[in-house]
Structure 1
Amino acid sequence: MLRRSFVTASTGTVAAVAVPMLATQPAVGISDVRRLHKDVADLTVLDDQRGGHQAMEAAALAGARKALALQHKSAMDPIRGRLYSAAADCIGLAAWSCIDARDPEHAQQHLERAMTLAGLARDSGAQFRIWTFMSMLANQLGDYPQALAAAQASRSTGAARRDIRRPEWIAFYTRGELDGLTGVTLGLSGSRPQAEAHFHRCVSALRPDQHRNRALYLAYVATEQLAQGDAEEAVNTALKVVTLPAATAGRTSHLLREFTTILTTCAPRSTAARAWADRPLTATA
């Protein structure tokens, strides 16, 4: 009888101790996931405005660390998957920032980690995006077979087979972006006037908030004008680029450096070259 009383008392004590411990243990819910996805959306807007830069890479990695830290708290399995998904999105954005800034080594490291997290999340949308970034990185490095293979892998994901609701990161892809990509293709094939025409259409169709793309595609316009021998008009266009917020970041900065090299090689003593050399010192091209 005494033993039964002891067991009953002990069980009650253990239960009394265990319940408060569980009650005070923080749990992760849908509101935490929504906050993380808001962070991803904000980073996407920052990319549209400024392009790839170290501050954006650091912010994206910090977002991933926040998402992964929540894995140590109590959560249902679907919530855990969405935490992995948010971390994959953040690290994917860090990779994209490095691709845009021409930092392939860090981009590759981020992409490999992001793909692992997307696999843990079983998120085909994240996998689609990361394969796309891998294709772009391979193309940037001149590894065209791998670029094609990665693009084909993106098309085989579940997200590509379904017409899912478009996330924030695809919002940049407008009719103007299609003209811009057409211009890039035509420029690479040597069809300079047609490429310039598409770039002009692209710039005209951009939203007011797309600062990065406006700077990028205006830089392409300047490059095509220079390739057609119109150095003065090309410099006038390039001088517009350097006044834009995103002129010193990512691919735009790289294009302007190429523009400088071509101009000083082809027409080093021209009036246009002198005007470009005297551009504002805030321009880093």
Structure 2
Amino acid sequence: MTSSTVTSSQPDRPPRPNLAFRRLRGPRSPAEFAALVRRAAREIGERVSCDARYVGRVEAGEIRCPNYAYERVFLHMFPGRTLTDLGFVPRSSVRGRAARTAVAAPRGPAPGETAGEPHGAAEPYDPRDPWQNDHANHPNHPNHEESDVLRRAFMTGGGATVAAATLAPLGLAPAAAAADRPPRRAGAPEAMALEEAVRRIRLLDDRHGADGLYRRAAAPLRAAYALLDAGATRQTTADRLHAGAGELAISVGWLAHDSGRFDDARSHYAEALATARMTGDAGLEAHAFCNTAFLARDAGRPREAVRAAQAAQRAARPLGSDRLLSLLALREAGGWAGLADRTGCERALARAQALFERGRADADPEWMSFYGEAELAGLEAQCWSALGDWRRASRQARRAAQAQDPHFTRNIALYTAELADDLAREGRPDEAAEAGLRVLALLDQVQSSRIQGMLAGTARVLLPHRRASGVAEFLDRHASYKGPRPVRDGGPV
């Protein structure tokens, strides 16, 4: 038997243009419309890498059915319409074909298919697969074979699907196999897969926290820098690879930070900063300093937090994003609070609020999708807590927990843990216990040493108040907590 190879899935007839989608674009250019798509995605907590090329592929009929993330964004943009109204074919008519045909010889049409229809021309995005996307895995993509190779490189062996909730390994294929092959210069598919790796790691962290992800995310980071060492086919690709590797270093650094590995986090942030300085990437530099400031505050180095936040603001000013400057002002406020400088903290908080109220802009970095009213309130709560103003802290923490989008499960747990601690220290043990029980319920889904440490501190404060309503139940449940249950295919088991 001959070995299987990836066969061409080119259609026997040209794809049918999506005229309905083209009409919806109206007079806007593809790039302008792509910017609207990205903005709509941010509004609902999705992350899509829509660009003019993607819009063109949709309008040309190459993408017959969008992945689930794009579907949610398009239906948000055009309420009341269905996928069919937008010019796409029903998902049931394309689901799964690419996976069945990618390694098979050409065959006749299956029941329900149209003769000559391109098999797998639009395999829908599997929401359980954190690496799949419409670009790199599209069977009709001109670089599909290369993309598939890279996609496997960003996963460890053991099956083609990495379910988001399983927190399955996110690393390279065995290093020994790669070592036997000479390095190949990276192209656009590699850059795209690296960018998608960053998005998916952030998505998993939003939902599940860092503890189960950190060690698994180190291998994709090694893969990213291996791509840089191999070189790129074009300068634009090299720039994308450097930016992607830097952002991935920050993401892995954050996973280390949130899981209590401060030295590892510091090293990863420094690596990202070096990459930014080497390539003159002001956006990456601002991001690296932003996270460095946050880490310094948590590590008990408040003066360093202030300096890093101010350096981040200097790098960010030319970028045109008021929301980014707002977040960086909050990082500075956290440093001032750690120094017990109430005046400096209040000035930075006022600046953060004023910048935030200017609204979103197309220049806002993609990684800032988490930053909204809830995060603003949550970071302000942490400042007041550091200053010992428990009443203000609990008010802002409650506001943060109530305002947070349900997608950000980790942040809901974080803000609620902050609320529980502030209430306990404010002298409201019954309300603190109630909030603490809500956090314990979320820890089946979230793995974060930071949150667990906060909850342990709350339990110590509440120990003398065991007779207050609900406190004994919280203390007993906290004492018996054994860590998160393993998760599989979307839920605890």
Q: TM-score range, shorter-chain basis?
A: 0.7 to 0.9
Does residue 251 (structure 1) correspond to residue 450 (structure 2)? The answer is yes
Counterpart in the other structure of 2:298: 140
Shift of 1:121: 3.3
Aligned partner (choices 86, 99, 102) of residue 257 of structure 2: 99
In 1, the alpha carbon distance for the partners of 2:278 and 2:257 equals: 24
For the 8 Å contact 2:210–2:447, the answer to whether it is kept is: no
Verify: 1:162 aligned to 2:361, yes or no.
no
Structure 2 unmatched runs, 5+: 1-181, 322-362, 485-493
TM-score of the two chains, using structure 2 as the length reference = 0.49
* Corresponding residue number in structure 2 for 1:19: none
Query: Hey, what's the Cα distance between the residues in 2 that align with 1:182 and 1:29?
Result: 43
* Structure 1 match to 2:383: 185
Report the secondary structure of 2:197's partner residue. Answer: helix
Q: 1:261 to 1:25 in 2, by over 3 A?
A: closer
Query: Is the alpha carbon distance of 1:269 and 1:204 closer, same or farther for their aligned partners in structure 2, counting shifts above 3 Å?
Result: closer
Aligned twin of 2:284 = 126
Larger CA deviation: 63-72 vs 271-280: 271-280
The structure richer in helix per residue is: 1
Answer whether contact 1:99 1:137 (CA < 8 A) is retained. Answer: yes
- Asked whether the 8 Å contact 2:253–2:269 carries over to 1, the reply is yes
Partner of 1:195: 393
- Structural mapping, 1:17-166, within 5 Å: 26-53=184-211, 55-71=212-228, 72-157=230-315, 159-163=316-320, 165-166=363-364
Q: Report the 3-state secondary structure (helix = DSSP H, G, I; strand = E; otherwise coil) of the residue aligned with 2:441.
A: coil
In 1: Cα distance, 2:473 partner to 2:407 partner: 29
- Percent of matched pairs sharing the same residue: 25
* Structure 2 letter corresponding to 1:142: G
Which amino acid counterpart does residue 226 of structure 2 have in structure 1? A
Distance in 1 between residues matched to 2:468 and 2:396, nearest whole Å: 28
* Contact 1:82/1:121 (8 A) holds in 2: no
How do 1:188-227 and structure 2 match up within 5 A? 188-227=386-425
- Is 2:262–2:295's contact at 8 Å kept on the other side of the alignment? yes
Greater RCO, 1 or 2 (C-alpha within 8 Å, sep 6+): 1
Count of residues in correspondence between the two structures = 259
Shift of 1:233: 2.1
Match of 1:173 in 2: 371
Within the alignment, does 1:233 sit opposite 2:431 as a pair? yes
- Who wins on radius of gyration, i.e. which is larger? 1
Q: For 1:190-222, what per-residue CA distance to the aligned partner results, in whole angstroms no more than 9, with x for missing partners?
A: 332332222222122111101011001111111
> Deviation string for 1:96-122 (max 9, x for gaps)?
112222221111222222222223333
Quickly say closer, same or farther: Cα 1:67–1:235, change in 2 above 3 A.
same
Deviation at 1:25, TM superposition (A): 8.9
Q: 1:135 to 1:25 in 2, by over 3 A?
A: closer
Asked if the contact 1:235–1:276 (Cα under 8 Å) also holds between the matched residues in 2, the reply is yes
Write out per-residue CA displacement over residues 252-271 of structure 1, whole angstroms, 9 at most, x where no aligned residue. 1111011112122x335656
Cα deviations across residues 139-178 of structure 1 (Å, max 9, x unaligned)?
Answer: 1122222111111111121x43221522332000001111
8 Å contact from structure 2 (residues 187, 232) kept in 1: no
Flag the 1:44–1:247 CA change in 2: closer, same or farther, 3 A.
closer
- Kindly report structure 1 stretches of 4+ aligned residues shifted beyond 6 Å: none
